[in-house]
Amino acid sequence: QAELQGKRFLCRTAASFVSARIGIKPKPPIRPNDLGLKRNLAGGLIVVGSYVPKTTKQVDKLRSQCAQSLRVIEVSVEMISLKSTEERDQEISRIVELGNAYIQSGRDTLVVTSRQLITGKTPEESLEINYKVSSALVEIVRRIDSRPRYILAKGGITSSDLATKALEARRAKVMGQALAGVPLWQLGPESRHPGVPYIVFPGNVGDNSALAEVVQNWACPSRSSTKELLLNAEKSGYAVGAFNVYNLEGIEAVIAAAEAEESPAILQVHPSSLKQGGVPLVACCIAAAERANVRQTELSMLKE
Q: What is the pLDDT of residues 197-236, one digit of tens each?
A: 999 999 888 999 999 999 999 987 655 667 778 888 888 8
Nearest to 182 by CA among 165, 163, 160, 205: 205
- Assigned CATH topology for domain 28-217: Molybdenum Cofactor Biosythetic Enzyme; Chain A (3.40.980)
Supply the pLDDT for residue 303: 47
Residue 153: beta bridge partners? 47, 200
The band of 299, judged by pLDDT with boundaries at 50, 70 and 90, is very low
> How deeply is 235 buried, as exposed, middle or buried, from its count of CB atoms within 10 A (0-12, 13-18, 19+)?
exposed
Report d(CA 9, CA 13) in Å as an integer. 12
Nearest to 266 by CA among 237, 221, 40, 294: 294
Quick check: 91 pLDDT over 80? yes
Phi, psi angles (nearest 5°) of residue 152: -120, 125
Residue 165 DSSP symbol: I
In whole numbers, what is the pLDDT of the chain averaged over residues? Answer: 87
pLDDT tops 90 at residue 68: no
Q: Identify which of 228, 276, 19 has the alpha carbon closest to the alpha carbon of residue 284.
A: 276
Inter-helix orientation angle 85-104/123-143, to 10°: 40
Among residues 148, 140, 153, the alpha carbon closest in space to that of 194 is found at: 148
pLDDT tens for each residue of 150-172? 999 999 889 999 999 999 999 99
pLDDT at 231: 86
pTM score, whole prediction: 0.71
Q: Pick 253 or 263 by higher pLDDT.
A: 253
Mean pLDDT score, 269-283: 82
Q: Identify which has the larger pLDDT, 289 or 84.
A: 84
Domain spans, the chain: 28-217, 226-303
Q: Three-state SS for 168?
A: coil
How far apart are alpha carbons 205 and 97 in whole angstroms?
31
- pLDDT at position 51 over 50: yes
> Is residue 18 predicted with pLDDT exceeding 80?
no
pLDDT of residue 154: 95
296 pLDDT above the threshold of 80:
no
Q: What is the pLDDT of residues 182-197, one digit of tens each?
A: 999 999 999 999 999 9
Residue 23: what pLDDT? Answer: 83
* Cα angle 197-165-114, degrees, rounded to a multiple of 5: 80
**Res. 304 pLDDT band, cuts 50 70 90:** very low
Q: Would you state the pLDDT for residue 223?
A: 59
Torsion region of 8: left, alpha or beta (phi above 0 gives left; psi -120 to 50 gives alpha): beta
CA distance 245 to 56: 45
Q: What is the pLDDT of residues 95-124, one digit of tens each?
A: 999 999 999 888 899 999 998 888 888 999
